[in-house]
Structure 1
Amino acid sequence: MQDIIQFLINNADVLVKVKEGTASLVGVNDEELKAIFEVFFGERISPMAYYWR
């Protein structure tokens, strides 16, 4: 998880794409993704928002 956080800090555009639904974080489960969104964006995501379209 620490490597993922470091990657997202260095590549903030990737997290924006995940939030928009145009990218996915492979190997990150829904609870981890919710925590990441809370830390980076200060918001909770809806259960369907973490699926890649």
Structure 2
Amino acid sequence: MKQDKRIDLRVTQTELELLDEYCQLTGKNRTDVLREFIRSLKKKMRNAEKYSI
């Protein structure tokens, strides 16, 4: 059975406000926004590999 893992993250007040602003703008909750960002890292890694020496 696949078991989800939990991450506790400390952020500054400014970072939290930015996250909440983005959530309000997109209609997504914090978990969904952070999950989408983590999933986007695969593409960012491929792009970094393409331009690395």
TM-score w.r.t. the length of structure 1 is 0.30
Higher relative contact order (CA 8 A, sep 6+): 1
Q: TM-score, normalised by structure 2?
A: 0.30
